[in-house]
Amino acid sequence: MLCQTIQRPGVPEVSLKTFVMDPIPGMLEGDIRPAVIVCPGGGYTHLSAREGENIAVWLNANGFHAFVLHYSLMKKGDHPKTFDKPLFDLSWAMACVRSHSEEWRLDPERIAVIGFSAGGHLAASLGVSWNRPEIAQELGIPQGSNRPNALILSYAVLSEGPFDRRGVPTRTGGDGAEPWEGHDTKVGEHTPPCFLWHTGEDQVVPVENSLLFAAALRRHNIPFELHVFEKGGHGLSTCQADVAGSPAGIMPENRQWMGLCLTFLRRQFHMR
């Protein structure tokens, strides 16, 4: 394992933790692995310890290199609608991982991003906006080097929808006075294949976020899977006791998202 923390140059609060597996010689599929960048949730006000390292080691255990991104958080005066620092952080991280492909023995065309809640918002923002030319210019990275090859969106904040007007609490983080800009309106042919999961009972980020985003993917013929489980609140992570703050967080039936997600990623990445 290569475990190290890489700082984003000039942005000391942003870093990428590497969980790069040792190569095993003689394996059927060679020693070049796919990779996943993990974006923990936390409403853009903090980074949840329940959606970081434990996700990285799970991916490791299934043959992926993994990385945990500590991205920029909102400060007083930051406006949810214009706050896009994390998109630059994630673009930097993606380009950084891709540029280390040889050294870390990873496939530069099989790099996914997984995000939880607000981290899902961030992952999706890269999925819909990675090709904005000013990102590569500002970061000084090659055009396209920040492109994700797949997205995993876990109970993600994604869209503006009619549910706002029903008075349902829809947004996490920030002052919440104005909604995020919806990602569903920016989906296009440049958006990579997406796996989404959510719970119908989520009281913090309504399931419509995933439903509307999936509808946009469908409209643009982007391969996707969407799994909505009936039971369970927001922020279940792996649904296991080690990340559960209460008995309600231990949900073996919802934990099936993990097997479904691996099957989806392996299919997209042509893995066994």
Partner 1 sequence: MLYETITREKNPEVTLKTFVMDPIPGMLGGDIRPAVVICPGGAYAFLSPRESESLAVWFNANGFHAFVLNYSVNQERDSKKPLKDRPLMDASWALSLIRARAGEWHLDPERIAIMGFSAGGHAAASLGVFWNREDIPQKLGIPKNSNKPNALVLCYPVILAGEFSHMGSLANLCGDDPEEQLKMSLDRFVGEQTPPTFLWHTMEDGSVPVENSMFFAAALRRYNVPFELHIFEKGGHGLSTCQADVSGSESGILPETGRWMELCLTFLRRQFKML
Residues at the interface with partner 1 (CB under 8 A): 1, 3, 17, 19, 21-22, 24-29, 33, 49-50, 53-54, 57-58, 60-63, 238, 240-247, 249-250, 271-272
247: left (phi over 0), alpha (psi -120 to 50) or beta: alpha
Closest CB to partner 1 among residues 25, 167: 25
Minimum CB distance to partner 1 smaller for 203 or for 263: 263
Smallest gap, in angstroms, from Cβ of residue 87 to partner 1?
26
> Minimum CB separation from partner 1 for residue 52, in Å?
8
The whole-angstrom separation of Cα 150 and Cα 52 is 18
In angstroms, give the least distance from the CB of 209 to partner 1.
26
Cα dihedral 190, 206, 68, 225 in deg (nearest 10): -50
Count CA atoms closer than 13 A to 85's CA, side-chain side: 16
Please say whether the dihedral angle defined by the alpha carbons of residues 237, 242, 243 and 247, taken in this order, is positive or negative.
positive
- Nearest distance in Å: CB 11, partner 1: 22
Among residues 221 and 246, whose Cβ is nearest to partner 1? Answer: 246
Minimum distance of partner 1 from residue 84's CB (angstroms): 29
Between 49 and 260, whose beta carbon lies closer to partner 1? Answer: 49
Quick one: 61 or 79, whose CB is closer to partner 1? 61
A 10 A CB-CB count for 85 gives 18
- What are the two backbone dihedrals, phi and then psi, of residue 159, each rounded to the nearest 5 degrees? -140, 160
Nearest to 215 by CA among 148, 141, 162: 162
Which tokens belong to 61? Answer: 């255990």
**Nearer of residues 21 and 37 to partner 1, judged by Cβ:** 21
For the bound state, the minimum distance from the C-beta of residue 241 to partner 1, rounded and expressed in Å, comes to 4
